[in-house]
Amino acid sequence: MDGESNFSKALKNARKSCHSMTQKELAKKIGIPRSTYSYYELGITKPTCELVVKVSNACNIDCKLLLEAISKDMNVPLGGK
């Protein structure tokens, strides 16, 4: 394993699929500093539900994609299955 979390990978993929936005552009769009956003992509900081919703809305993706990645990281099935 390369140490990168499922959420970190999913977050990067979401950003890149969002018109190839830079971290700075997406961070501005969701109202946080670029450095804070970078910590999420690096896996240094854990996401809040609010962040997941904001990124999902900004990138026009289903928040379930990000929630599934968090679920995998925590080894907890999404939806209690």
* Residue 79 forms part of a structural domain: no
The predicted-structure confidence for 13-68, as pLDDT tens digits, reads as follows: 999 998 889 999 999 999 999 999 999 999 999 889 999 999 999 999 999 999 99
* Residue 78 forms part of a structural domain: no
In 3D, which of 23, 20, 10 has the Cα closest to residue 56? 10
Contact between residue 52 and residue 70 where contact means Cβ atoms under 8 Å apart: yes
- Per the structure, how many domains does the chain have? 1
Mean pLDDT computed over 1-9:
79
User: Which pLDDT band holds residue 1 (cuts at 50, 70, 90)?
Assistant: very low
* Residue 80 forms part of a structural domain: no
CATH of the domain at 57: 1.10.260.40
Amino acid at 3: G
Contact between residue 66 and residue 11 where contact means Cβ atoms under 8 Å apart: yes
User: Which pLDDT band holds residue 80 (cuts at 50, 70, 90)?
Assistant: low
Q: What is the per-residue pLDDT for 66?
A: 93
* Residue 15 forms part of a structural domain: yes
* Residue 25 forms part of a structural domain: yes
Full domain range(s) for residue 17: 6-73
Name the 3-class secondary structure at 44: coil
